[in-house]
Amino acid sequence: RQSSLDAIKSGVQTAKKRLSGRRSAAWIEKMTVDGVLYYYNPATEKVTYEKPDELKTDEERKEIAGEWVWVRDEKEVWLPGRVIKKETNDTLRVEIKGRGTKQLTRHVKNEPLWPVSLSSLNRLEDDMVLLDDLNDAMMIHDVKERYKKDQIYTWVGASQTVLVSINPFKRLPIYGIQMMNEFARPAPNKILPPHPFSVANSAYIRLRIQA
């Protein structure tokens, strides 16, 4: 009987490995028109921005495992921290990479402890309304990371009437005659980045229509 049970267990484990291999092979990396990586599984027709578990290495699984929250930081303003222990419902012990651990209590010293998905941090949006979570930490993260790529303008809302601008403290090649023409006569199949030229062109079109 024991040998039969062992044989069954072995068969189940082998079947799981084969199934896992098929799922892993089924996932396909794709890219959106604006350069965002996502994953598609033609077998299940599932689409996700987060890297599927079947494609993650053991190191990646270990690194992102657990519950994560936003933690205030004097230098960076907000940093993601891993919850390593829940003292109470509102008191957590959090580990911040490279900065040790600290005990935090929700809403004390302006610590809302908003939850954060690490996969969301890799997906920057040129319109903050499209962020997974609309909180101060996620919005600042989006603007800050875009700023590092010299993407100093960010929309707030699909109407494209509110534009966040960050001073780059350097010259950027985004204000020439060619750029003006691109926004004055936008191509129907091209997505233009957030820019004050877009606001100006929209205002000009409205003036012509309403005049």
Per-residue model confidence as pLDDT tens digits over 35-61: 778 899 998 889 888 888 888 888 888
Chain mean pLDDT for the chain: 86
Rg (Cα) of the chain, in Å, rounded? 24
- For residue 16 the two structure tokens come to 């799981």
Answer whether 94's CB lies under 8 Å from 71's CB: yes
Report the distance separating Cα 194 and Cα 160, nearest Å. Answer: 8
Report the distance separating Cα 202 and Cα 163, nearest Å. Answer: 13
pLDDT value of position 8 = 60
pLDDT value of position 119 = 83
In 3-state terms, what secondary structure has residue 97? coil
Cα dihedral 80/84/88/91 (nearest 10): -30
pLDDT value of position 53 = 84
- For residue 81 the two structure tokens come to 């921290």
Report pLDDT digits (tens) over 69-113: 999 998 999 999 999 998 887 889 999 988 889 888 888 778 899
